[in-house]
Amino acid sequence: MGKITLKSVSKSFGATSVIPRIDLDIADGEFVVFVGPSGCGKSTLLRLIAGLEDTTEGTILIDGRDVTNEAPARRGLAMVFQSYALYPHMSVYNNIAFPLKMAGEDKSAIDKKVKDAARVLNLTNYLERRPGQLSGGQRQRVAIGRAIVRQPKAFLFDEPLSNLDAALRGTMRLEISELHQQLGTTMVYVTHDQVEAMTMADKIVVLNAGKIEQVGSPLELYRSPSNLFVAGFIGSPRMNFIEGAPAAKHGAKTIGIRPEHLAISASSGEWKGTVGVAEHLGADTFVHVHTNGLGTINVRAPGEIGVEHGQAVWLTPDPSKLHRFGADGRAL
Ligand code: ADP
Ligand code: MG
């Protein structure tokens, strides 16, 4: 079991409040992602759950048991960091076995757990190597293996893929998602990358300056962001925001429309503009359109469309995909 509950949890460093006051429920087996810009308090929140930081106020429960004042080692959680923190002089086998040896488990039990973890992580053929003889992705898998053998109630990941190149990040994303499906263990995953959040999470917690802006499934946040911050943070390319008369027409201070929800035409439409840069990606074309009075509006058109710099175009938003926000930034 790995149900985690935060009740009115806050954290200050001296006079600086980093997490004002948070309530959050993480269900057993859930994959929860904390996402938000750098410095918003993601790592602090994860470290509070791990017990690596003391809470200033509030209560943390794991499976209903109050662990607020319990030492990290007694919480039954396993943390995986961005830096792998492997022992360079030990083999992969011994790196994975290390926490079990420290716990005094017997040799045959350790052997089985290490080999099971290695199988799940495709490390069976690398058990005799040293970390220096592995790729970055393999090293990160060893670090995950060391967490798996402890059979934790939950895995806590702090930006585990940030040190990897883009292609490897994509592969590792899939591997961690598959691992979650195999193990069914609760995972709490911190990232500043909204693509990681969208692709991996059952539930996303969007943080901004220590506050929870919204909690929901990836598609709930995509379809119904509850405020301007979430609307601008989730989705790539970013949502376009328009103020003034076109927004007032919809009874809003600001309207938002995603690039993929705009039609582009050379002959007619609602908003007129001129093509600035067109990015031809093959599968999609991203067109940056400079309008008269509405600023630059970005459009994502499927496939290859033949637009040129300087060409006059018309844009039309899909009315069913328009987001409306009031003066306080909240969705209407
Ligand atoms: P994130 O992981 O989202 O980038 P952090 O949780 O690391 O953000 O940091 C949140 C805020 O708390 C930052 O403003 C950071 O400077 C501050 N902070 C983090 N740890 C400490 C600390 N030990 N002492 C003082 N301030 C800290
Ligand atoms: Mg961090």
Q: Please indicate, yes or no, whether residues 109 and 208 belong to a single structural domain of this protein.
A: yes
Contact in structure between 127 and 118 (CB atoms under 8 Å): yes
Q: Please indicate, yes or no, whether residues 169 and 276 belong to a single structural domain of this protein.
A: no
Q: Assess if residue 37 is contained within a domain.
A: yes
Count of C-beta atoms within a 10 Å radius of residue 28: 14
Contact in structure between 192 and 35 (CB atoms under 8 Å): yes
Give the full edge-to-edge strand order of the sheet including 31-35. Answer: 77-80, 154-158, 186-191, 31-35, 203-208, 211-216
Q: Assess if residue 47 is contained within a domain.
A: yes
Q: Please indicate, yes or no, whether residues 173 and 263 belong to a single structural domain of this protein.
A: no
The pTM (predicted TM-score) of the whole model is 0.92
Cα(35) to centroid(ligand 1), Å: 14
Q: Please indicate, yes or no, whether residues 321 and 249 belong to a single structural domain of this protein.
A: yes
Cα(19) to centroid(ligand 1), Å: 10
Q: Which one of 185, 201, 231 terminates a domain?
A: 231
Q: Is the CB of 19 under 6 A from ligand 1?
A: no
39 SS3 class: coil
Cα(189) to centroid(ligand 1), Å: 17
Amino acid at 236: S
Which atom in ligand 1 lies closest to the alpha carbon of residue 53?
23
Residue 187 sits in a domain whose CATH number is 3.40.50.300
Going by alpha carbons, the residue nearest to atom 27 of ligand 1 is 13
Cα(37) to centroid(ligand 1), Å: 12
Count: domains in the chain: 2
Domain that holds residue 244: 238-325
Amino acid at 33: V
Q: Please indicate, yes or no, whether residues 124 and 154 belong to a single structural domain of this protein.
A: yes
Going by alpha carbons, the residue nearest to atom 14 of ligand 1 is 39
Q: Is the CB of 13 under 6 A from ligand 1?
A: yes
Q: Please indicate, yes or no, whether residues 300 and 162 belong to a single structural domain of this protein.
A: no
Q: How is 57-106 classified by DSSP, letter by letter? A: EEEEEETTEE-TTS-GGGTTEEEE-SS----TTS-HHHHHHHHHHHTT--
Q: Is the CB of 39 under 6 A from ligand 1?
A: yes
Helix (H) or strand (E) run with residue 119 in it: helix 107-120
pLDDT tens-digit profile of 294-315?
Answer: 999 999 999 999 899 999 999 9
Q: Closest Cα partner for 80 from 167, 207, 205, 175?
A: 175
Q: Assess if residue 261 is contained within a domain.
A: yes
What pLDDT shows up at residue 298?
98
Q: How far apart are CA 40 and CA 32, in angstroms?
A: 17
Going by alpha carbons, the residue nearest to atom 23 of ligand 1 is 13
pLDDT tens-digit profile of 217-232?
Answer: 999 999 999 999 999 9
Q: Is the CB of 40 under 6 A from ligand 1?
A: yes
Q: Which one of 198, 231, 264 terminates a domain?
A: 231
Give the full edge-to-edge strand order of the sheet including 323-325. Answer: 240-243, 254-257, 323-325
Task: Give the residue ranges of the chain where pLDDT is below 70.
Answer: 82-84
Q: Please indicate, yes or no, whether residues 300 and 213 belong to a single structural domain of this protein.
A: no
Q: Assess if residue 332 is contained within a domain.
A: no
Q: Please indicate, yes or no, whether residues 159 and 267 belong to a single structural domain of this protein.
A: no
Helix (H) or strand (E) run with residue 220 in it: helix 218-223
Q: How far apart are CA 249 and CA 97, in angstroms?
A: 64
What pLDDT shows up at residue 288?
98
What pLDDT shows up at residue 318?
97
Q: Assess if residue 331 is contained within a domain.
A: no
Q: How far apart are CA 193 and CA 168, in angstroms?
A: 15
What pLDDT shows up at residue 166?
84
205 CB-side CA count, 13 A: 25
Q: Assess if residue 273 is contained within a domain.
A: yes
Q: How far apart are CA 219 and CA 121, in angstroms?
A: 29
Going by alpha carbons, the residue nearest to atom 12 of ligand 1 is 18
Q: Please indicate, yes or no, whether residues 226 and 291 belong to a single structural domain of this protein.
A: no
Q: How far apart are CA 4 and CA 86, in angstroms?
A: 28
What pLDDT shows up at residue 214?
98
Ligand 1 pocket mutation, candidates 18, 33, 159, 206, criterion most atoms within 8 A of CB: 18
Q: Assess if residue 179 is contained within a domain.
A: yes
Q: Is the CB of 206 under 6 A from ligand 1?
A: no
Q: Assess if residue 131 is contained within a domain.
A: yes
N-terminal to C-terminal alpha carbon distance within the chain: 39
Q: Please indicate, yes or no, whether residues 259 and 166 belong to a single structural domain of this protein.
A: no
Q: Please indicate, yes or no, whether residues 160 and 253 belong to a single structural domain of this protein.
A: no
Residue 270 sits in a domain whose CATH number is 2.40.50.140
Q: Is the CB of 44 under 6 A from ligand 1?
A: yes
Going by alpha carbons, the residue nearest to atom 25 of ligand 1 is 13
Which whole-number Å values give the CA distances from 110 to 74, 129, 291, in the listed order? 20, 18, 65
Q: How far apart are CA 148 and CA 96, in angstroms?
A: 9
The three-point CA angle 305-306-310 to 5° equals 125
Q: Which one of 206, 231, 256 terminates a domain?
A: 231
Q: How far apart are CA 132 and CA 136, in angstroms?
A: 9
Q: For 230, list phi and psi in degrees, rounded to 5.
A: -65, -40
Q: How far apart are CA 90 and CA 325, in angstroms?
A: 56
Contact in structure between 90 and 145 (CB atoms under 8 Å): no
Contact in structure between 212 and 36 (CB atoms under 8 Å): no
Q: Please indicate, yes or no, whether residues 18 and 57 belong to a single structural domain of this protein.
A: yes
